[in-house]
């Protein structure tokens, strides 16, 4: 099978972690007899510096011509610390989501036995937690119009907008995943206050009748934030709008004990993007100390969701499990033991895969 992917390393630690993930992808393809074809392109601060655009047309063209996109991270202190910057790296991420039609971000949250001690929650609360957060990615307040500032600069405004079509599309996707898992779906909104949330609930309640085998519950976002901490094992599949999902998925990510361990997939109309959920971590850039495992696990998601290659995805996950079991890990999860370099962890995983 020919696998055609675009590789967007991005900023900060992005190039280092993507390099290791790409080696893992090559190893899997060689083991299973696939042809991996890939090309790299600029995105984020690197693209602004080179082309004045955080998501250049050339990068978009490459993504459109690819079956999947392996993406690192976006962000740079150079722009974070400049409040007057007219172009920011994060605009590239929003542009990529919009132009590729990346309407759903999928974040599996799975605990690793060797890392439970690093979770801020008690072991009995998090051991065995295994759920999926699905966040709508191209609508809501991040994309709503109008938005801006008043002429005197004293007032700022953003608008949250959703259509029935946008909501129905992601609710159906969420039901599809629930059917493959434990058949429970939690729809998160703020329907007691927000008009857009009332539309979300209205659409979900209509669709609920089409999926009688799935247990559907509705939960206000503030309650969901509490339940994630009090009882994370109660969730199976959670679906919500853009801003709520942004906040809740970051909250959920710390349950496992390390932000550096969680992958994500952004499912799109034209292609899909696979990336770690952590940021560009510029303080570690170039030091060979960043944790590559979330990016490598994103490769597993890529094999699974973009190419429907289940055995290949499982091979990657087994390699990561082996690295964890042998304590060949980077400093963020070394727990006082020996800390290995990014490249050393990557090599151990590719050696396992070969």
Which residues are identified as catalytic?
A: 142, 190, 222, 246, 250
Instruction: Count the helix, strand and coil residues of the chain and give each as a percent rounded to the nearest 5.
Output: 50, 20, 30
Q: What angle do CA 127, 129, 133 make, to 5 degrees?
A: 155
Q: How far apart are CA 285 and CA 92, in angstroms?
A: 20
Residue with tokens 């309650």: 223
Are the C-beta atoms of residues 141 and 159 closer than 8 Å to each other? yes
DSSP 250-261: HHHHGGGS-GGG
Dihedral sign, CA of 297, 299, 302, 304? Answer: negative
Dihedral sign, CA of 109, 115, 22, 303? Answer: negative
In Å, how far are 154, 229, 294, 298 from 21, measured between CA atoms? 46, 31, 9, 8
149 three-state secondary structure:
strand
Q: How far apart are CA 63 and CA 251, in angstroms?
A: 30
DSSP code at position 338 = P
Other C-beta atoms closer than 10 Å to the C-beta of 273 total 27
């Amino acid at each position: 099978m020919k696998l055609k992917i675009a590789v967007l390393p991005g900023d900060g630690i992005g190039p280092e972690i993507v390099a290791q993930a790409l080696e893992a992808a090559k190893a899997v393809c060689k083991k299973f007899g696939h042809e991996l074809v890939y090309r790299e392109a600029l995105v984020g601060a690197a693209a602004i510096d080179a082309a004045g655009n955080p998501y250049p047309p050339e990068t978009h063209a490459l993504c459109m011509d690819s079956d999947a996109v392996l993406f690192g991270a976006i962000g740079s202190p150079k722009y974070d610390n400049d409040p007057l910057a007219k172009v920011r790296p994060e605009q590239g991420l929003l542009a990529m989501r919009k132009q590729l039609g990346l309407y759903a971000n999928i974040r599996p949250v799975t605990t690793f036995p060797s890392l439970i001690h690093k979770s801020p929650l008690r072991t009995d609360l998090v051991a065995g937690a295994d759920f999926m957060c699905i966040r709508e990615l191209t609508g809501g307040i991040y994309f709503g119009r109008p938005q801006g500032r008043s002429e005197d600069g004293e007032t700022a405004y953003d608008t949250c907008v959703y259509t029935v079509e946008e909501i129905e599309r992601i609710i159906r996707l969420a039901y599809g995943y629930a059917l493959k898992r434990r058949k429970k779906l939690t729809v998160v909104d703020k329907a007691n206050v927000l008009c857009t949330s009332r539309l979300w609930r209205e659409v979900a309640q209509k669709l609920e009748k089409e999926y009688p085998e799935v247990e559907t519950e509705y939960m206000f976002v503030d309650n969901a934030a509490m339940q994630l901490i009090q009882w994370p094992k109660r969730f199976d599949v959670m679906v919500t709008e853009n801003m709520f999902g942004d906040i809740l998925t970051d909250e959920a990510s710390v349950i496992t004990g390390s932000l550096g361990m969680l992958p994500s997939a952004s499912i799109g109309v034209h292609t899909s993007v696979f990336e770690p959920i952590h940021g560009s971590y510029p303080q570690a850039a170039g030091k060979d100390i960043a944790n590559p495992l979330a990016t490598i696990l994103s490769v597993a998601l890529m094999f699974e969701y973009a190419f429907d290659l289940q055995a290949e995805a499982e091979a990657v996950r087994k390699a990561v499990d082996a690295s964890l079991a042998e304590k060949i890990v980077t400093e963020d999860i070394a727990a006082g033991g020996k800390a290995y370099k990014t490249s050393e962890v990557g090599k151990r995983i590719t050696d396992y895969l070969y």
